[in-house]
Amino acid sequence: MEKIKMKTPLVEMDGDEMTRVLWREIKSILLEPFIELNTKYYDLGLLNRDITNDEVTKEAALAIKKYGVGVKCATITPNKDRVKEYNLKEMYKSPNGTIRAILDGTVFRAPIITKVVEAYIKTWKKPITIARHAYGDIYKDVEMKVSKGKCELLFTDENGNEERKLIHNFDGDGVVLGMHNLNNSIESFARSSFNYALDTKQDLWFSSKDTISKLYDHTFKDIFNDIFEKEYKEKFEKENIEYFYTLIDDAVARVIKSEGGMIWACKNYDGDVMSDMIATAFGSLAMMTSVLVSPDGNFEYEAAHGTVQRHYYKHLKGEETSTNSVATIFAWTGALRKRGELDSNKELINFSNSLEDAVIETIEKGFMTKDLALISNFENIKVRNSFEFLEDVKNTLLDKIL
């Protein structure tokens, strides 16, 4: 068959460890035989980030702003042990955090569902997508251990005027934290969430705790409501989808009793926790997609999991691994499909859909990696190693498209 051509480049960001190994194999086995890949390549592997003083991460993010769509391999965010292991110049920041900040994006995470792995919540029939506001709150907090004394919140405006509020009079040892957010970041979060709901034609929920946090959380609620009423209400009605706000404890109860199929927008910490809960309840973090969406229409796709360090060390020793590559494959298909949509390239869209179907069909025929085999009730399981699974998917794909 003639290879599919791409009109506009895709920003390709390579990564680390076992996911880097699989990245190369996915391209070689599942993509390059069928597509004339047109990518702008950036090596976000930890060693190259160190060589470039992490400038390569910023360059990749700016390239996404230029070309509109990127696909990213999992990367290491170094701790002290990694700094020593890789002999790094410094402890570099999370590449994902850098890219999110430059794109001003919101992270959307959704499970990949197959019949061979049942959700732990029996009512869940459709994916539940978590939209996480990836700025502020405790992730940019300031913390302090205190003893007996008075703690105040002080704000000094640009004219030097001060406003103070008592936090607590401490009779003994304690701890305090201060956190913040920005209205323009919350607005970007809201618009990205509304746009993604329209793009995927799903209901959108937003939850916080405005009854307790009458200024901080209430600001989120008010911004979402104002933007919806002014910019999105008619669009939602036209698509027959719904937006509503509820308290986060009520949202949890509603989600558990639902059949799924909605986008649940959460503040930063809530989204961090709930996305892992959703992933586990649907079966596996290795079956979780992640897409960063900016309010001005840029998209970055990746797997929700990390670099699979333990399997990488086994791979280096020449030992067999059975690493689940599904979310990484879906990062590629998501990016290629979006590239196709933006370029009106139906062939690329159809191929992306066919490859995703081939992955699911392969698993539902019983060919799967060890992590899925351990949680599946399927009777005729054939456990495949990291590379055999990719070949199995290719065979299923060829049956579909030839």
Q: 10 Å Cβ neighbour count for 98?
A: 18
Pair 104, 205 in one domain: no
**Residue reference for tokens 């360059």:** 59
Both structure tokens of 248:
């986060």
Q: Which CATH number goes with the domain that contains 11? A: 3.40.718.10
User: Is residue 354 very low, low, confident or very high in pLDDT (cuts 50, 70, 90)?
Assistant: very high
pLDDT in tens, 116-151: 988 889 899 999 999 999 888 988 899 999 999 999
Q: How far is CA 298 from the centre of its chain?
A: 14
Pair 125, 267 in one domain: yes
Average pLDDT over the chain reads 95
How many structural domains does the chain have?
3
pLDDT in tens, 232-243: 999 999 999 999
Pair 269, 298 in one domain: no
What is residue 139's DSSP assignment? G
Pair 247, 312 in one domain: no
The pLDDT, as a whole number, for residue 379 is 87
Mean pLDDT along residues 86-95:
94
Q: Is 85 left (phi over 0), alpha (psi -120 to 50) or beta?
A: alpha
Pair 73, 135 in one domain: no
Pair 277, 324 in one domain: no
SS3 helix, strand, coil % of the chain, rounded to 5? 45, 20, 30
In 23-75, where do the E strands start and end? 35-36, 39-43, 69-72
Pair 155, 185 in one domain: no
pTM score, two decimals?
Answer: 0.90
pLDDT in tens, 21-40: 999 999 999 999 999 999 99
Parent domain of 146: 142-178
The pLDDT, as a whole number, for residue 322 is 97
Pair 304, 222 in one domain: no
- β-strand partners of 42: 13
Angle at which helix 17-26 crosses helix 309-316, to 10 degrees, equals 80
Pair 132, 57 in one domain: no
> Under a CB-based contact definition with an 8 Å cutoff, are residues 83 and 25 in contact?
no
Pair 185, 170 in one domain: no
